[in-house]
A and B are shown apart, each in its own frame.
Chain A
């Protein structure tokens, strides 16, 4: 059995799969597509989804914040002042959404809502010998965010992360191929096949490693992870009670050294560590002010 995958879940994590299933349905509720064959075009599409959920998915009702961010930066390349202002508007709007969620809960949506995280977790259940995840691979997510989401769209006017995004292949390309929309789409070229290869590679990687996309690639998790130092939803440790038994570190699916790395940007806030501690050292919740005497080590 993979490291950190316990047979019986304890603590808040035992409710997590229900929350993830609810997240999948809430972000993709438009089953009317089966009849209309036209993707949802209502006003909710102007609101960002709290998770990596492709807005090309015919069932989705919300916008992907990573796609929105790229679109905003791509608009800045235009020469018309009006378009550039629109670009700033989109960047500020999506940035405000990301900042709001990050400041409130950090990466909690990664562990509890994100449909693409759920997909990787399901693939990880394939009974294969599990592999470790080198820490330096996790640093890839910063150049990916900077290069593919911010700089390349700004320099070329195109959404480069979306062009490679495996979530787009799973949630957008596959359903649209299986159930084509009423107005036919242009013929796909080599990019679709390249995306299919990337998606296949991710499936293999996910079978071997727990949520590799979230740990090494996802721009959304990278941004929200940086808010862990300030987020109102916190993981705290009462170190005076800690017997250093190592059960929290042993249970962590993303291999954090706990309780030292409770505020690490790599934590997906699955809260498995909360239930794993036999002494109740680690707790999670919204902390406002300093009502509770808690000790927390840094990143």
Chain B
């Protein structure tokens, strides 16, 4: 395995760790509650 693939593998491992940690702090659920309603910033309503 070359150095680049090794680096990619390490990053993927860290990514998995970050994902698991995000579950602990309700990351997906919080994003869902935010994204499910119309984003007024995006459509230019403040």
B-binding residues in A (CB < 8 A): 39, 41, 43, 45-48, 54-56, 58, 62-64, 67-68, 71-72, 75, 85-96, 99-100, 103, 158-159, 162-163, 165, 168-169, 172-173, 176, 181, 185-189, 191-196, 227, 229-232, 234, 287-290
Contact = CB atoms under 8 A, between A and B. Distances in A.
Contact of B38 (A48, A176, A194): A176
Contact of B41 (A89, A90, A95, A159): A159
Interface in B1-46: 1-2, 4-5, 7-8, 11-12, 14-16, 18-19, 21-32, 34-46
Contacts, number: 174
A81 to B, nearest CB: 11
B38 A39 contact: yes
Given A63-B35, A287-B5, A92 B22 contact: yes
A192 B26 CA distance: 32
Q: Which 4 A-B pairs have the closest CB atoms?
A: A89-B25, A93-B27, A46-B32, A89-B27
Given A103-B15, A158-B41, A230-B11, 5 more contacts: A71-B30, A89-B23, A92-B25, A94-B31, A195-B44
Given A63-B32, A169-B44, A162 B22 contact: no
Contacts of B31: 46, 48, 63, 68, 71-72, 90, 93-94
Nearest to A41: B36
Nearest to A40: B36
Contacts of A168: 39, 41-44
12 contacts: A47-B28, A48-B31, A68-B31, A71-B30, A85-B25, A88-B27, A93-B18, A94-B31, A162-B39, A176-B38, A188-B43, A289-B5
